[in-house]
Structure 1
């Protein structure tokens, strides 16, 4: 920023740059929301959409039915196993009691206990029968659970086969959908980049430059940063190719601009000294002088010695003397800093610096 600008003008320029960044920030937020929501224009597809529409529901129903039967069989099996354990325990206890009684019976040799022997034997037979029935119930529930699990596994295997058959079609459709969504995003961001290039070329120095620069920052961010998370595997090619094209175009523009600038400088250096100083911008001239640079040819000049009045490179008058007090002053100053007398010949057109910028 030029050191010769008025203090209020400096703050106004800073405020305008703040407007540019705020404008870019809000545009970026809006663009991010739009780019993120673009996939919603496409119907969300899943692998089931490409599977056999008749067999798939049947197999899923079979799997659910088998799962339900397996759960019920497992619950019944748990109950049957509990009953079996109870019957086995009762049988073991009865046999122990019977063995003890039978040992006593043999020791006493009492014939009147033959009826008791028969009764206890019948009770043991009944307990053994109960145990066998409980064991049979457990085996039945185990068979039911096994059948249900096998039916579930068969249905899942068939369903997996259908999924594998539909996977190629699904992935092909997914790639096509991804390409379409990428096209939507590219169709949104690439024109923004082109518009930004046009604005940079035509309006970057206009009165509305804060909005122009804000839009340029937004367009660059949207294409080269915001678009990155949504790029498919091949999307990087587009981004890098566009970057290369922009670099080549911008480089050619810069080279041509440099050549035009050097040509203008040559033409300007051929003009009379008074005309050259009159055509130079006042603020720009003052800023270059403070940096020990010639305002005309922009080459370095040692201005600290207090003796150099003309540029040794292009001959432009840099310092002259006041016509009233003869004090050495800048040839671009509008008034003498020692006595305040106006310069004899104005060195710039009477155009406010804000309008020139």
Structure 2
């Protein structure tokens, strides 16, 4: 059976909504504050550590060589066109000459000897022009090869200049990340400490829903605003922080469980009337209905299925582990009932649990 009153249930749900709303507003406000934190949004760049004077000089030479290569390509294309033209003229002139020689051989006219010499000279002149055109292309190709090699050397120098900036950049980057992390830690750590204090000291306060919203906000700030900025020097810091947090959680969990068991052991040695004064009414009713002893938190009987308003076996009136009285009899009608009930569920008269508490 449910021991919590319906208004209490709706009140608790409404307070959770209030906690979430307040936490969301705090998160948005924290985001604005973090965005205005110095260096939070601007990190160093590798360009800041490059020797710009050397780089600009190399870039100027690269631009000039690339322009020269483009001009060389244009000249090379023009020279190849001229070579093709000279080769075609030579081939045509030579073909005409060979045909003319065949005609002359047929006629055997000595008067044509001067013309033979003239035609041979013309062919030789065309061949010379073709050779000059080839030589121009060879010179342009040689120049292009030299410029290409020079361009490769300059690009290698540019790469070396940028590579020289990597080491100081990485060092400055690590320092900047550490600085941002330290700044965020300085803002987040007080929130975590306050939250821990609220959990330890204000858990049962009437303003706990408000404190709970602050705790949600601080956890969000830790996991979203701080953890992603953990420095990572090869993963050592991240793994180290993770191990430290895990050990810390394990330490407090073990200490808490040890303290809890010790307190339970001490409580079991107290008189039953003192135990009853320390147990909240609604908690006791709920636990007994679920087959759990409210004194030692052990299972004293089988847990009943949901939806059934039944009780454990009739003969289990006391906890088999600590002897705590779980069920009593109504002095008016004799009905067996939860020992924490204030009124008998069968006849409605006040129960004798107060007397049981006083005389236990």
Normalising by structure 2, we get a TM-score of: 0.76
Superposition RMSD on alpha carbons, in Å? 3.7
User: Once the 2 structures are TM-superposed, how far is the Cα of residue 62 of structure 1 from its aligned partner?
Assistant: 0.9
Correspondence 1:159-174 to 2 at 5 A: 159-174=158-173
Equivalent residue, structure 2, for 1:85: 84
User: Once the 2 structures are TM-superposed, how far is the Cα of residue 91 of structure 1 from its aligned partner?
Assistant: 1.8
> Do residues 338 (structure 1) and 341 (structure 2) align?
no
Q: Secondary structure at the match of 1:169?
A: helix
Structure with bigger RCO (C-alpha 8 Å, 6+ apart): 1
Equivalent residue, structure 1, for 2:289: 290
Q: Secondary structure at the match of 2:345?
A: coil
Paired residues in the alignment total: 341
1:328 aligned to 336, 341, 347, which one? 336
8 A Cα contact 1:28 1:221, kept in partner:
yes
8 A Cα contact 2:40 2:180, kept in partner:
no
Supply the distance in 2 between the matched residues of 1:57 and 1:334 (Cα, whole angstroms). Answer: 91
> Do residues 305 (structure 1) and 334 (structure 2) align?
no
Correspondence 1:199-348 to 2 at 5 A: 199-217=198-216, 219-220=218-219, 223=222, 227=226, 229-231=228-230, 232-233=232-233, 234-236=236-238, 237-263=240-266, 265-266=267-268, 269-272=270-273, 276-277=275-276, 279-302=278-301, 304-311=312-319, 313-343=321-351
Equivalent residue, structure 2, for 1:197: 196
Equivalent residue, structure 1, for 2:99: 100
User: Once the 2 structures are TM-superposed, how far is the Cα of residue 287 of structure 1 from its aligned partner?
Assistant: 0.9
Q: Secondary structure at the match of 1:54?
A: helix
Structure 2, unmatched stretches of 5+, are 302-310, 356-360
Structure 1, unmatched stretches of 5+, are 348-357
Q: Secondary structure at the match of 2:349?
A: coil
Supply the distance in 1 between the matched residues of 2:140 and 2:271 (Cα, whole angstroms). Answer: 110
Q: Secondary structure at the match of 1:176?
A: helix
Supply the distance in 1 between the matched residues of 2:102 and 2:272 (Cα, whole angstroms). Answer: 142
Equivalent residue, structure 2, for 1:187: 186
Task: Indicate how the Cα distance of structure 1 residues 260 and 332 shifts in structure 2: closer, same or farther if over 3 A, else same.
Answer: closer
Deviations 1:318-339 (A, max 9, x none): 3333344343322322222223
Q: Secondary structure at the match of 2:45?
A: coil
